[in-house]
Structure 1
Amino acid sequence: MASVLFLVILLASIGAAKSGKKIFIRRIAGLNAVDEAIGRATEIGKKVLYVPGSQSMDEIQTIASIAILGHVARATARYGTDLDVPNKDPLTFASAREAVRGAYLAEGRPDLYREEMVNYVTYDQFAFTAAVSARMIRERPAAIFLVGYFFAESLILAETGQSTGAIQIAGQADPTQLPFFIATCDYTLIGEELYAASAYLSREPALLGSMRAQDIAKAIVILLGITGIIAASLGATWFAGLFKTQ
């Protein structure tokens, strides 16, 4: 029954989005700051550094990061800003290169695309961290994006980036690394904000409808939970019985 209800909500939300109805999505500060950060880099003539995490394409956070990279690359192509995307994993490197190439083609600026924009550094965790940190200090990019799955290198990269004075936007769903990004970055995409980024930035009806359906489903679950707590507190056991399974 719950699956059928969610399917109905999902189809109705996608239909509403495709019909042109305005779908409300709360503002996400980190995503709203993307164009601001790239605009600043354009104004002062410095590059944008985008690090898509340290994991491969079998990690959902890496997939979300590549989607955001596509939007960032379209903006750098539009403004003529230099983009640098260092990679640790070979598969992520290949995916990032295709995403950036596609973004420049979509913006009609294939002449600005260069293969070395997306580069492979090394698979070793701390050798990669040292190389990217040195690049931050040496080239001093105006905007730094640390979006994806990071481990112990998160604080090293974020602190180094902060020392250069760059605008830093981070995104991570792992609670063990989030505090480091929150403490050192200007904006941080927390948990589901990272996964919602592709819908938020692209405004595609199917993605917006899916996001809206998930939010409605969460609201229903929260409401049922609160109702259950109140019912149990009043001694009404019949409400909990509605959700028993055989």
Structure 2
Amino acid sequence: MSSSCIEEVSVPDDNWYRIANELLSRADITINGSAPSDIRVKNPDFFKRVLQEGSLGLGESYMDGWWECERLDIFFSKVLRAGLENQLPHHVKDTLRILGARLINLQSKKRAWIVGKEHYDLGNDLFSRMLDPYMQYSCAYWKDADTLEAAQQAKLKLICEKLQLQPGMRVLDIGCGWGGLSQYMATHYGVSVVGVTISAEQQKMAQTRCEGLDVSILLQDYRDLNDQFDRIVSVGMFEHVGPKTTTPILRLSTGI
């Protein structure tokens, strides 16, 4: 990308405060003001975070101690009444979208391993108490199902039907989790599966679950794979990695 293109979508750091201050003033909120509903900012990165992440960034930055407010109830009442989240200037929205999705790879390899360790390595016992027998961590398919177990199996079946699996195919399961889908595909469709996870705990359970099947569970970043597959499936993971990481996925598919 040329430098001129980057300049067109760049937002100078000193503008984050100006934009945030302008928006909050529309709700009669002053940054570091004296009114009970005013906010006192303790971390200068607060402005950038809220403008990039919206209400989620506002809430999480509060929990992280980046800002405080004496009367949160009045503050949020003012924010909601003013509809601030819908008032970002269009050019700012476009800039944030382009910077976040096109210029920056938010899910770097380093960050991926941090996520795996801090979230999925909390312990298999914890997740097994809240999930179905196939340990599915994504939404179930509830049509004609009245239990979580039935709904998750219906989802697995639907996924396999959409993949049009045939015996002998090689399938890559990106973000395979605890191996439930890999197990289901190998058992019911006779395919060879390579599952990839960034969690040591998930790999351990997935290997046990898929023992005796034509399934390999790898502890590695999918971007480090150098192979090709007949089918590639990713359930509840692909939306987290962003457009900059689609090419490494596509090159793993035969014929692409």
Shorter-chain TM-score bucket reads under 0.3
In the superposition, the TM-score normalised over structure 2's length comes to: 0.27
Q: Whose radius of gyration is greater, 1 or 2?
A: 2
More helix by share: 1
Task: Name the structure, 1 or 2, with higher relative contact order (CA <8 Å, separation 6+).
Answer: 1
